Amino acid sequence: MKKVLITGIRGQDGAYLAKLLLEEGYEVYGADRRSSDASYWRLEKLKIKDKVKIIYMDLLEDSNVAEVIREHRFDQIYNLAAQSFVHASFKQPILTSNVNSLGVLRILEAIRMFSKDTKFYQASTSELFGKVIEIPQKETTPFYPRSPYGVSKLFAHWITVNYREAYDMFNVCGILFNHESPLRSIEFVTKKVVNSVSKIKLGLLEKLEIGNIEAKRDWGYAPEYVYGMYLMMNHNVPEDFVLATGESHSVKELIEKAFSFIDMYLRWEEKDGRFIALDKNGNIRVVTDKQYYRPSEVDFLVGDYSKAKNVLGWEPKVKFDKLIEIMMTEELKELEKLRRNENTILQG
């Protein structure tokens, strides 16, 4: 049985990847930074909490990382742990760099010293392309990151490549475009939008407050992307791959799509530099707010996944419309379940 470590086990991708690797017969260890709130809701939701062996490994702690890797000598390590919220990276650039850049180097150093045969996956990102130099973006497109997060991931990407070349290690970088799911954290825009729109539908919220509605992203479905990670790790040569859908949509389109799911159609107006959207009764349902804007933005991303398709046979099936449908359906179901439980408690 192959022994694999997933860092960032409590995150969206960690949960889906753990499920996939368990199904593929791996012994799955999940690295978690210790916290006072030991909630593993994503693993519980996927019904795999009892099957994943949790160990504490904080990427900020050199000796912790080294000891875990020396003791277990995993066959494979997927490094998904990160301060992954771009907006927060402007407020916490040093923490972000320490975790996302030096954290990766800590793992690579430990592998180099104690476990040279361990295969390593690094979670690179389309944020590397930032202010894009080429459309669509592919493996050979030059990088131009636009946030402390993007810059921290640039170091991580190149140090992973460098250790592959310098020490002949099996290291791969997956340059993944945005991928979403019902397990996405609420701070990211897709989940925030589907959550607010579902609450509006249920009468729990009046309007959605949002940032830059003009930014465009290539949004895919997380379970398909973790399958791509798995294919990269099991490919015979360590190489880097882009995973994307090849479609780009604006935040505005995302909002309209989510509202259309609840049969609400919006009319947009611009007032004093802010956008508002009204429903057919004239109620304000969306309003833009500068607090959600970033000091420097990635305006447009769209990926070319042809290398992954040709070499790995990977292809996304869930595109934008289907993705929003999946997320809206699940969000409404969850919120209605919550409401039923609250009513039962109140009546009981």
Q: What does each C-alpha distance from 288 to 4, 29, 30, 91, 283 come to in angstroms?
A: 43, 42, 38, 21, 15
Q: What does each C-alpha distance from 42 to 13, 38, 48, 293 come to in angstroms?
A: 10, 12, 9, 28
3-state secondary structure of 5: strand
Q: Is residue 13 involved in binding ligand NAP (CB under 6 A)?
A: yes
Q: Is residue 10 involved in binding ligand NAP (CB under 6 A)?
A: yes
Stretch that binds ligand NAP, among 56-64, 139-147, 226-234, 249-257 (CB under 6 A): 56-64
Among 12, 115, 147, 196, binds ligand NAP (CB under 6 A): 12
**268-296: string of b/e by CB count within 10 Å (b at 16+)?**
eeeeeeebbbebeeeeebbebeeeeebee
Among 18, 81, 159, 213, binds ligand NAP (CB under 6 A): 81
- Rg over alpha carbons for the chain, rounded to the nearest Å, is 21
Beta strand pairing call for 119-125 and 171-176: parallel
Q: Is residue 178 involved in binding ligand NAP (CB under 6 A)?
A: yes
Residue 277 CA to residue 81 CA, distance in Å, equals 37
Query: Where does this chain bind ligand G4F (CB under 6 A)?
Result: 84, 86-87, 125-127, 177-178, 187-189, 192, 210-212, 215, 217, 251, 292, 294, 297-298
Q: Could you give the string, one character per residue 104-123, with x where binding to ligand NAP holds by CB under 6 A and - elsewhere? A: -------------------x
- Tokens at residue 261, please? 């799911």
Q: Is residue 59 involved in binding ligand NAP (CB under 6 A)?
A: yes
217 binds, among ligand G4F, ligand NAP, none (CB under 5 to 8 A by kind): ligand G4F
Q: What does each C-alpha distance from 346 to 204, 332, 335, 340 come to in angstroms?
A: 17, 21, 16, 10
Tell me how far, at minimum, the Cβ of 249 lies from ligand G4F, in Å: 11
Q: Could you give the string, one character per residue 293-332, with x where binding to ligand NAP holds by CB under 6 A and - elsewhere? A: ----------------------------------------
**122-150: string of b/e by CB count within 10 Å (b at 16+)?**
bbbbbbbbbebeeebbbeebebebbbbbb
Among 4, 19, 43, 58, binds ligand NAP (CB under 6 A): 58
Q: How many helices (H) and strands (E) does the chain have?
A: 12, 15
Tell me how far, at minimum, the Cβ of 198 lies from ligand NAP, in Å: 20
Output the CA torsion 314→315→317→318 (10° steps). Answer: 90
User: Backbone phi, then psi, for 48, in 5-degree steps?
Assistant: -130, 5
Nearest residue to ligand NAP, by Cβ distance, number only: 11
Tell me how far, at minimum, the Cβ of 113 lies from ligand G4F, in Å: 29
Q: Is residue 35 involved in binding ligand NAP (CB under 6 A)?
A: yes
Confirm if 288 and 213 have CB atoms less than 8 A apart: yes
Residue 339 CA to residue 333 CA, distance in Å, equals 10
Q: Is residue 82 involved in binding ligand NAP (CB under 6 A)?
A: yes
If the CB atoms of residues 68 and 86 are measured against ligand G4F, the closer one turns out to be 86
Q: Is residue 45 involved in binding ligand NAP (CB under 6 A)?
A: no
Tell me how far, at minimum, the Cβ of 83 lies from ligand NAP, in Å: 6
| Continuous segment of H or E residues that includes residue 221 | strand 220-221
Stretch that binds ligand NAP, among 76-84, 190-198, 266-274, 328-336 (CB under 6 A): 76-84
8 binds, among ligand NAP, ligand G4F, none (CB under 5 to 8 A by kind): ligand NAP
Catalytic residues: 125, 127, 149
Residue 15, classified by CB atoms within 10 Å of its CB into exposed (0-12), middle (13-18) or buried (19+), is buried
Q: What does each C-alpha distance from 212 to 160, 216, 224 come to in angstroms?
A: 33, 10, 27
343 binds, among ligand NAP, ligand G4F, none (CB under 5 to 8 A by kind): none
Q: Is residue 43 involved in binding ligand NAP (CB under 6 A)?
A: no
Contacts to ligand NAP by CB under 6 A: 7-8, 10-14, 33, 35, 58-60, 80-84, 99, 123, 125, 176, 178-179, 185
